Chains A and B, each alone.
Chain A
Amino acid sequence: MPVPNAENIVRAVTTEKYDGERISPSLFEGRDASVSRLAVVPLEDQWELLRRHVEKPPQRLLALLGEINVGTLARIGLNYAPQPTVLTVEAAPLPEFPSHGVIPQKITRGLATQIVRNLTRHAGPTA
């Protein structure tokens, strides 16, 4: 089921993809990037939820949440001049991850770079 353009989503940014300054473009490169819907689980509760799913201490820690509007994501895809791309977010709830969704389309490195630039960064309570 497609997620409406009005919704916002977050992508977990873990320590191998963030060095305190830049976010790796490979965060969105490829197919089936996992995201989490803020309409289902509010931002303040996303930290605990995503930590449970992506952290593997001590090596992999959740560093940031990157937020983007679904409509903005779609617009970035269509406006990507080298290869205009239809981008959608599909709801894909999991038993312990009800807000889970995926971006099913293949995202090139160049397009991923544009998406990363448009993320709103949220630092966590202990990040």
Chain B
Amino acid sequence: MTLTCEQTLTWGFDIDLFPGDTALTEPAPQPLPEIGVRDDLVLGRLGAKVWGRIEYFRRFYSQTWGDRGQGKPMSPRSVQGLCRFLEVAGDCFSDLVRNPSLFLTDEGFLELVWEDQDGKSVQLVFKPTALEYYLERQQVEDRTAYQPESLRKLAACLAA
């Protein structure tokens, strides 16, 4: 089944649940890729395990969760950020990422984690307006905008 972009945006998310999502007050971002495209991206570049985790979060983390109800639903803008990064990173990304894991932060953002060829941790957190990253090999914790050139630089850095 192929869903439309609009359906993707309404996947059980209540937009009012994201009062701190500054992206909502900024110029409208590019529309989410159609779900088929997203599936292709995630399955093709990160594999079935990560795709399954997104489905799991979509299905079971669509309302607030956690012991004090502080956990936020999976942010559609975080999914959008992941897709943007995968688009820019290109096909070679799947060779770079080894058996990645996907987690959901308490803020509802996707967190992609794997180890590089030396066993050093690589971590990407897809926040609404920026991609935060931690590269253990370089001991760097930083963030970058979802601009194609910025994302390309980060992808090149990961491949180096």
Which residue of A16, A19, A60 has the most chain B CB atoms within 10 A of its CB atom? A16
The docked-state distance in angstroms from the alpha carbon of A26 to that of B26 is 27
> In the assembled complex, which residues on chain A have CB atoms less than 8 Å from the CB atom of B61?
16, 59-60
Q: Which residue of B lies closest to A22 (CB)?
A: B101
Interface size class of B (residues with CB under 8 A): 20 to 34
In B89-131, which residues have CB < 8 Å from any A CB? 99, 101-106, 111, 113, 121, 123, 125
User: Which of these, A17, A25, A26, contacts B121 with CB under 8 Å?
Assistant: A25
Selected interface stretch from A1-9, A37-45, A50-58, A85-93: A50-58
Once A21-B101, A24-B111 are accepted as A-B contacts, the answer to whether A60 and B123 lie under 8 Å apart by CB is no
Contact with B along A89-120 (1 / 0, CB 8 A): 00000000000000000001110010000000
| A24 pairs with B103, CB closer than 8 A | yes
> In the assembled complex, which residues on chain B have CB atoms less than 8 Å from the CB atom of A125?
none
Q: Which residue of B lies closest to A18 (CB)?
A: B103
Apart from the given pairs A25-B123, A60-B71, 16 other A-B contacts in the complex at a CB distance below 8 Å: A19-B53, A19-B102, A19-B103, A21-B101, A22-B113, A24-B101, A25-B113, A25-B121, A26-B105, A26-B125, A54-B67, A56-B67, A81-B139, A113-B123, A113-B134, A113-B136
Residue B11 is within 8 A (CB to CB) of chain A in the complex: no
CB distance from A83 to the nearest CB of B (A): 9
CB distance from B78 to the nearest CB of A (A): 13
Interface size class of A (residues with CB under 8 A): 20 to 34
The docked-state distance in angstroms from the alpha carbon of A18 to that of B71 is 15
> In the assembled complex, which residues on chain B have CB atoms less than 8 Å from the CB atom of A56?
65-67
CB distance from B20 to the nearest CB of A (A): 15
Once A19-B103, A22-B101, A26-B111 are accepted as A-B contacts, the answer to whether A59 and B123 lie under 8 Å apart by CB is no
Once A22-B101, A26-B111, A113-B123 are accepted as A-B contacts, the answer to whether A54 and B66 lie under 8 Å apart by CB is yes
Residue B49 is within 8 A (CB to CB) of chain A in the complex: yes
> In the assembled complex, which residues on chain A have CB atoms less than 8 Å from the CB atom of B71?
16, 60
Using CB atoms and an 8 Å cutoff, list the residues of chain A in contact with chain B: 16-19, 21-22, 24-26, 53-54, 56, 58-60, 81-82, 108-110, 113
CB distance from B132 to the nearest CB of A (A): 8
> In the assembled complex, which residues on chain B have CB atoms less than 8 Å from the CB atom of A109?
123, 132, 134, 141
In B57-94, which residues have CB < 8 Å from any A CB? 57, 60-61, 63, 65-67, 71
A-B CB proximity, top 3 nearest: A59-B60, A24-B103, A16-B104
User: Which of these, A18, A60, A82, contacts B65 with CB under 8 Å?
Assistant: A60
